[in-house]
Chains A and B, each alone.
Chain A
C-alpha cells in the first residue's frame, strides 16, 4: 500500500479555538474528538466549521466501544455518519477497546483479552461499522494497566490480526506503546517491530505521568525524550506516517504545542527524505466495497 501522508497535526481543543480562528497558524491538519461535536449545534459546531474551512481534519472517537459485547450502538453510528458528512475527514479512528457493557458507559478506554475469540468478535463489528459508514477506519492501540489471564498473544499480534481480517488500518500511539511496555514489562521496540507496516496510517504522540512504578496515560505533559526516541525508531521502520500530538489536560498555549510539534518535524526530517515527507494531495481512504 502507498500510505497517504498528511504531515504533522495537532488535536483541536476548545482552549485553542479562538487562536486558531484568528491567527490561522501553520499546522498541516487537526484531529478532532468526534463525540465533542455530536451535539445539535451552537458554538462547538460553529467553531468546527470555521476551522475546517482552513485545515484538513481527521476524526477520532472515544465511544464506539468496538470491543464491547453490547450490540453496536446504531444511534451512535448514525450520529458519527452525520458528523463525517459534515467534516469530510481524511479518515476516522477509534480505540481497540471497550467502553461500555450492559449499556453503562465507563467513559474510559478499557482493555481486552488478547485471544482468538476476542479477535473474531471485534473483526465482525469493525466490518459492520465500515459497512455502515461506507469507509475504512483506523483502530488505535491503548495504554493499559492490566493483563488478563486468558490473553494468549502479545498485543501487537492481536492488533495486526484484527487489522488484517477486518481490512482496517492502525493508528499507532507511540506513547501508548511506551506506557504499556513499562507497565507490562516488554521492549517497546519489540512492539514496533511486530506491527504490520502496511496497516499503519497514523501516529499519536502524547505525554504521560508516573504513579509509583506505573505510567498513566494522562496527556498532561510534553512528550518525553524516550517517546521521541521511540517515534524516531518507528519512523525508521514505517517511513512517513501522519503524526499528531494529543494534549488533553494542563493544556499550554497553542504556540507551545506548535513548537512541540516542530520536534516531531525535525526528527522526521532527520530520519526520512524530503520525497518521503511530501504531503499527499488527496489522501482520503477509499470506501469499502
Chain B
C-alpha cells in the first residue's frame, strides 16, 4: 500500500496537471467517476488562485481584458506554485513575470501597473508604527543633529516609473478610460499609508527621492545635506532639508528619529 506522503504527492500532481496517477487511488461510483471527482478539486484549485490574483491586480485585469489576464494568470499559476501560508501572498511575484516574459513584457506599462498594485497591497497591511511629530523634531537636543537618523513607516515605498502608469492606474481605479500609454522619463513616486489607514501617493523630485533613499539606508542628516548640495546652493540646502523633513512628518511618513 502506498504511503500517505506518496498519495498526497500524487494528489498534488493532479492539481498541478503533472500526473493523473492518483485516479487509481480514488473510488468511482455510479454517480461520478474518480477523474470527474478529482476534477472538482482541480477546478477549485485554479479558480481560487485566480480569484486571489484578480483581487490583488484588479486594475491590471481591467487594463489587459479578460482573455489576456486569464492567460497571464494561467502562466503565473503554472510557474509559481504557492509556497505561502495565506493567499494574501500568493501573487507577490506577478510583476516580475510581467516584466520578464512575452507577450506581457512588450507592453511596458503593464509591469509598472502591476508594481503599483503590489505596492498598494503592501502598504495596506504594513506594520503599524508610531508617527513622528513636529514637536519631537523641535525638542531634539542640538547635539542630535550631527548623527540624526530617520525611521520611515514600513508602508513607505518608492516606485521608479518610466511611463504614465500612475495616471493609467488612477483612471482604471475610477473606472474611467485610461490615457494612452506614453514614456515620461524616469519619475519617482512615493506611496505610503497614513494614520487614517488610507494609502497615499505623490511624485517626488529627484532631490527628495535621493534624500528618502539615503534616509532609508540609514545615512545621517549631515550626509543627506551634503548630497543635497548636488541640487541646491549651500545657502538653500539646510532649509530645503528641513523642509523635506517637516513634510515627511506632516504627511505621516516618518516613524521616529535616532541619534
- A-to-B contact residues, CB < 8 Å: 35-36, 38-46, 63, 68-69, 73, 75-76, 79, 98, 101-108, 110, 112-113, 117-118, 121, 145-150, 183-185, 211-214, 216
- C-alpha gap A211/B1 in the complex (Å): 32
Chain B residues whose CB sits within 8 angstroms of the CB of A185 once the complex forms: 29, 31
Chain B residues whose CB sits within 8 angstroms of the CB of A75 once the complex forms: 85
Chain B nearest Cβ from A266, distance in angstroms: 33
B12 beta carbon closer than 8 Å to chain A: yes
B9 beta carbon closer than 8 Å to chain A: yes
B241 beta carbon closer than 8 Å to chain A: no
B213 beta carbon closer than 8 Å to chain A: no
Cβ of A213 and Cβ of B83 under 8 Å apart?
Answer: no
- C-alpha gap A150/B22 in the complex (Å): 12
Name 7 extra pairs, CB < 8 A, besides A35-B87, A150-B1. A39-B86, A40-B128, A42-B124, A42-B125, A101-B12, A107-B82, A216-B44
Kindly specify which of B32-40, B66-74, B204-212, B230-238 makes contact with the partner chain.
B32-40
Chain B residues whose CB sits within 8 angstroms of the CB of A68 once the complex forms: 8
Chain B residues whose CB sits within 8 angstroms of the CB of A184 once the complex forms: 29
Report if A107-B49 is in contact (Cβ < 8 Å); known contacts: A38-B85, A39-B125, A42-B128.
yes
- C-alpha gap A90/B168 in the complex (Å): 47
Nearest residue (CB) in A for B15 is A106
Chain A residues whose CB sits within 8 angstroms of the CB of B34 once the complex forms: 146
Chain B residues whose CB sits within 8 angstroms of the CB of A42 once the complex forms: 123-126, 128, 155, 193, 197
- B-to-A contact residues, CB < 8 Å: 1-5, 7-9, 11-12, 15-16, 24-27, 29, 31-32, 34, 37-38, 40-41, 44-45, 48-49, 52, 81-88, 90, 123-128, 154-155, 193, 197
Nearest residue (CB) in B for A62 is B86
Cβ of A146 and Cβ of B48 under 8 Å apart?
Answer: no
> How many pairs of residues, A versus B, come closer than 8 Å at their CB atoms?
129
- C-alpha gap A212/B40 in the complex (Å): 12
Report if A40-B154 is in contact (Cβ < 8 Å); known contacts: A105-B84, A113-B4, A213-B31.
yes
Cβ of B87 and Cβ of A148 under 8 Å apart?
Answer: no
Cβ of A149 and Cβ of B41 under 8 Å apart?
Answer: no
Complex partner residue of A146 from B2, B26, B45, B84, CB under 8 angstroms: B26
Complex partner residue of B127 from A40, A79, A106, A113, CB under 8 angstroms: A40
Complex partner residue of B82 from A35, A101, A105, CB under 8 angstroms: A105
Chain A residues whose CB sits within 8 angstroms of the CB of B193 once the complex forms: 42
Cβ of B12 and Cβ of A148 under 8 Å apart?
Answer: no
Chain B residues whose CB sits within 8 angstroms of the CB of A38 once the complex forms: 85-86
Cβ of A105 and Cβ of B83 under 8 Å apart?
Answer: yes
Complex partner residue of A108 from B29, B41, B81, B84, CB under 8 angstroms: B41
Cβ of B41 and Cβ of A43 under 8 Å apart?
Answer: no
Cβ of A145 and Cβ of B37 under 8 Å apart?
Answer: yes
Cβ of A211 and Cβ of B84 under 8 Å apart?
Answer: no
Report if A149-B86 is in contact (Cβ < 8 Å); known contacts: A102-B12, A108-B44, A213-B32.
no
Cβ of B32 and Cβ of A214 under 8 Å apart?
Answer: yes
- C-alpha gap A40/B29 in the complex (Å): 47
Report if A69-B26 is in contact (Cβ < 8 Å); known contacts: A46-B197, A145-B41.
no
Cβ of B85 and Cβ of A105 under 8 Å apart?
Answer: yes
Chain B residues whose CB sits within 8 angstroms of the CB of A69 once the complex forms: 3-5, 8
A-B contact pairs, 20 of them (CB 8 A): A36-B88, A39-B86, A41-B125, A41-B127, A42-B126, A43-B125, A63-B86, A68-B8, A76-B85, A102-B12, A104-B83, A106-B45, A107-B45, A107-B82, A108-B44, A145-B40, A145-B41, A146-B41, A148-B26, A149-B27
* Residue from A73, A102, A106, A117 having most chain B Cβ neighbours under 10 A: A106
Nearest residue (CB) in B for A182 is B31
- C-alpha gap A121/B8 in the complex (Å): 13
Chain B nearest Cβ from A72, distance in angstroms: 12
- C-alpha gap A213/B31 in the complex (Å): 7
- C-alpha gap A36/B88 in the complex (Å): 8
Chain A nearest Cβ from B135, distance in angstroms: 24
- C-alpha gap A101/B81 in the complex (Å): 11
Chain A nearest Cβ from B149, distance in angstroms: 22
Nearest residue (CB) in A for B153 is A41
Cβ of B5 and Cβ of A110 under 8 Å apart?
Answer: no
Cβ of B8 and Cβ of A101 under 8 Å apart?
Answer: yes
Cβ of A104 and Cβ of B12 under 8 Å apart?
Answer: yes
- C-alpha gap A98/B15 in the complex (Å): 14
Cβ of B125 and Cβ of A40 under 8 Å apart?
Answer: yes
* Residue from A46, A102, A121 having most chain B Cβ neighbours under 10 A: A102
Complex partner residue of B40 from A44, A102, A214, CB under 8 angstroms: A214
- C-alpha gap A112/B127 in the complex (Å): 37
- C-alpha gap A249/B197 in the complex (Å): 25
Chain A residues whose CB sits within 8 angstroms of the CB of B41 once the complex forms: 106, 108, 110, 145-146
Report if A108-B4 is in contact (Cβ < 8 Å); known contacts: A42-B125, A146-B27.
no
